Amino acid sequence: MELQKKDIRKLTLPELEEFFLEQGEKKFRAKQVYEWLWNKSLKNFDEMSNISLSTREMLKTHFSINHIRVDLMQHSSDGTIKNAVKLFDDKIVESVLIPTTKRITACISSQVGCSLDCNFCATARLKRMRNLNSDEIYDQVVAIKDEAETYFQRPLTNIVFMGMGEPLLNFIPVIESAKIMKEQLAYGLSRKRITISTSGITPQIDQLHNEVDVSLAISLHAPTNELRDEIVPINKKYPISELMKSCYNYLNFYAGKRSITIEYVLIDGVNDSEELAIKLAKLLSKISCKINLIPFNPFDGSSYKRSSNRNIETFKNVLIKKGFITTLRVTRGDAVDGACGQLVGRLTKSIKGKKLISHQSIS
């Protein structure tokens, strides 16, 4: 029976207010309920302490509160926490909490598996099974917010859509969840603190600014079509020239007040030569951007290797000399396969040789 009820979190605040008025309730009660749901992340109506018993009973007859469950939590020695999140249909996605001195970042998934087939990414081996809905995306943030407070006594500060999946191929739910993250009644995070990362789905990049104002990261990884076709195959559909055009469009829309993060995984002998660094600098010369170099994270079954420190330094220095703000991402969560590109849902199976510290359910 419970499953047939509508999930109350499918309603926007105005819809919830309308429902309350239809039921002969006061409009402001809807706002209170909304805050319980989105800011306090309550999972049942009985805990809504400022809502009368009769109103709670009325809500229970109409609605359910669907939610995900953190099935398994792994702590890495560097503080990173990886969650295996079980969805209502028992599918598993992963999300990661990454603490640094200044920030606590939630890296969240938007799809079960991924359809893109980037050949340096472990998630690609899962293929895409389904899209997440907006609640499932948002709930990963809720779980990580609670973990940040429990384990680090600090609030969650940033959200990156860099877990499993291609966010822009699950456009509407990703947009909806990002809107809620920004809402004052939920977390009120500013657009600077929410980053959508894409491997370059240009039609959706062009639409993004019409839907929600968030930061944009592009997983570029190669400055030529020849190489990018090979390592990021979606490039065959949306080649570099189109991708650059979409970056211009995004930046133009914000009248030069924004910059894009360019992600570039450094793979030994594949895309890490000095010559490619020079080509990359040329390609990006008219794009307001910050370049984030990511040393390749190895995973079982991949023949790629991380670039040598010398190559990484040379690559980085070329870009810095050309005037780009260039950062090197410190690998986090390696010990629990929670680093970029290592999310494969292997927690559904046995986790050999990994240190499991706790299980936790947020249900």
- In this chain, which of 112, 208, 265, 284 binds ligand SAH, going by CB under 6 A? 265
Neighbour count for residue 334 (Cβ, 10 Å): 15
Is residue 340 annotated as part of the catalytic site, yes or no?
yes
Instruction: Specify whether the CB–CB gap between 314 and 337 falls below 8 A.
Output: no
Question: For residues 90-149, which are near ligand SAH according to CB under 6 A?
Answer: 118, 120-121
- In this chain, which of 197, 202, 307, 311 binds ligand SAH, going by CB under 6 A? 197
Distance (Å, whole) CA 162 – CA 165: 8
Q: Which is nearer to ligand SAH, 338 or 341 (CB)?
A: 341
Q: Which is nearer to ligand SAH, 147 or 263 (CB)?
A: 263
Sheet strands (E) in the chain: 6-7, 63-64, 69-75, 81-86, 92-99, 104-107, 111-112, 130-131, 158-161, 194-198, 215-219, 260-266, 289-295, 325-328
Catalytic residue among 17, 25, 94, 136: 94
Which range, of 20-28, 96-104, 235-243, 292-300, touches ligand SAH by CB under 6 A?
Answer: 292-300
> Cβ of residue 121: shortest distance to ligand SAH, in angstroms?
3
Contact between 34 and ligand SAH (CB under 6 A)? Answer: no
If we measure between CA atoms, which residue out of 146, 112, 147, 107 comes closest to residue 126? Answer: 112
Amino acid at 149: E
Is residue 15 annotated as part of the catalytic site, yes or no?
no
Contact between 340 and ligand SAH (CB under 6 A)? Answer: yes
Catalytic residue among 118, 247, 289, 340: 340
Distance (Å, whole) CA 194 – CA 188: 11
Contact between 294 and ligand SAH (CB under 6 A)? Answer: yes
Contact between 80 and ligand SAH (CB under 6 A)? Answer: no
The secondary element (H helix, E strand) that includes residue 58 is helix 53-62
Size of the site for ligand SAH (CB under 6 A): 16
133 class by beta-carbon count within 10 Å (0-12 exposed, 13-18 middle, 19+ buried):
buried
Point out which residues bind ligand SAH (CB under 6 A): 118, 120-121, 162, 166, 197-199, 219, 263, 265, 294, 296-297, 340-341
- Which residues are the active-site residues? 94, 340
